[in-house]
């Protein structure tokens, strides 16, 4: 469904992504793990059109999207939940969700998706008239995910969904990620997550990125058996 082929991305003179290649098949949860500054967020921003690759190719359903503007990529079916949630603080929960559907014209479908989001996140229904800036961190994360789902994405890009959340909420968020993937629409997910244990527990496949390069790829079981991965990301032996 999504294929990244040998892309290079720069911030000025800094070579942030160095010949990165990866593939995501329809219906999969694929996770990308790595340390801070390894290039994880840069990759998501490049896929979603916020950054342009210098070279290489990004194919979505066999169509090149590398360098296209962000709204075109959303329209084609890729939604991005950014690191830090980025909700519109002075707007209500409901208004934030409406913005997620801003490219859509199908009123009936939008209404149905409001109901689906509220089913997934009952807390958002309770808070629907509340200003999103007054929500807790966990509620803002739910809102950021709900807002992305309002675009009816085929692929959902999730950047550090557990960051700053209490352990109990982390489990809830990961359970919901699995529900989104296993739902009727079967949304394909690319997950970036520093909590490597949690990410590998729900992923079909995983990649490890270090200093802008993919250094390992495999199933969660294969990565769990790697001494390199266990030492660096899974709390040792």
CA 136, CA 114: separation in Å to the nearest integer?
Answer: 21
Using one digit for the tens of pLDDT, what is the confidence trace for 202-225? 999 999 999 999 999 999 999 888
Residue pLDDT, tens place only, 71-127: 899 989 999 988 877 887 888 999 999 888 887 788 888 898 898 989 888 889 988
Q: Please check whether residues 46 and 114 belong to one and the same domain.
A: no
Any idea which residue has 């359903």 for tokens?
A: 61
Domain co-membership, 186 together with 235:
yes
Residue finishing a domain among 97, 127, 152: 152
Same domain membership, residue 46 and residue 93: no
Do 60 and 172 share a domain, yes or no?
yes
Whether residue 140 is found in the same domain as residue 31: no
Closest of 155, 125, 152, 119 to residue 139, by C-alpha: 125
Domain span at residue 200 reads 1-77+155-237
Same domain, 25 and 131: no
How far is the CA of 39 from the CAs of 34, 133, 154, 179, 212, in angstroms?
8, 28, 23, 27, 5
What is the pLDDT confidence band of residue 20, given thresholds at 50, 70 and 90?
A: very high
Domain boundary among 107, 135, 152: 152
pTM over 0.75: yes
Whether residue 160 sits in one domain with residue 46: yes
pLDDT above 90 coverage of the chain, percent? 52
What's the domain count of the chain?
2
Q: Are residues 36 and 140 in the same domain?
A: no
Percentage of residues of the chain with pLDDT beyond 70: 97
Give per-residue pLDDT as tens, 167-200.
Answer: 888 888 898 899 889 887 789 999 998 888 889 9
Q: Per-residue pLDDT for 235 more than 70?
A: no
Residue that terminates a domain, selected from 152, 187, 205: 152
- Report pLDDT for 234: 65
For residues 3 and 56, state if they share a domain: yes
* Residue 123 contacts residue 142 (beta carbons within 8 Å): yes
Helix axes 107-120, 167-182, angle to 10 degrees: 140
Which one has a higher pLDDT value, 60 or 100? 60
pLDDT, residue 166, reads: 78
């Amino acid at each position: 469904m999504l294929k990244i082929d040998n892309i290079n991305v720069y911030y000025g003179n800094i070579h942030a992504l160095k010949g990165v290649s990866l593939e995501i098949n329809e219906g999969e949860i694929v996770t990308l793990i790595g340390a801070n500054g390894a290039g994880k967020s840069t990759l998501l921003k490049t896929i979603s059109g916020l950054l342009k690759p210098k070279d290489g190719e990004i194919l979505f359903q066999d169509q090149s999207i590398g360098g296209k503007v962000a709204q075109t990529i959303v329209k084609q079916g890729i939604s991005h939940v950014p690191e830090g949630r980025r909700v519109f603080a002075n707007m209500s929960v409901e208004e934030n969700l409406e913005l997620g559907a801003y490219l859509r014209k199908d009123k009936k479908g939008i209404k149905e998706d409001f109901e689906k989001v509220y089913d997934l996140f009952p807390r958002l229904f309770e808070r629907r008239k509340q200003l999103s800036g007054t929500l807790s961190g966990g509620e803002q994360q739910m809102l950021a995910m709900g807002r992305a789902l309002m675009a009816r994405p085929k692929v959902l890009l999730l950047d550090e969904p557990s960051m700053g959340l209490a352990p109990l909420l982390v489990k809830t968020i990961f359970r919901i990620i699995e529900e989104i993937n296993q739902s009727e629409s079967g949304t394909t997910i690319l997950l970036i997550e520093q909590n490597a244990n949690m990410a590998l527990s729900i992923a079909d496949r995983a990649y490890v990125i270090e200093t802008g390069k993919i250094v390992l790829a495999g199933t969660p079981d294969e990565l769990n058996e790697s001494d390199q991965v266990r030492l660096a990301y899974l709390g040792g032996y």
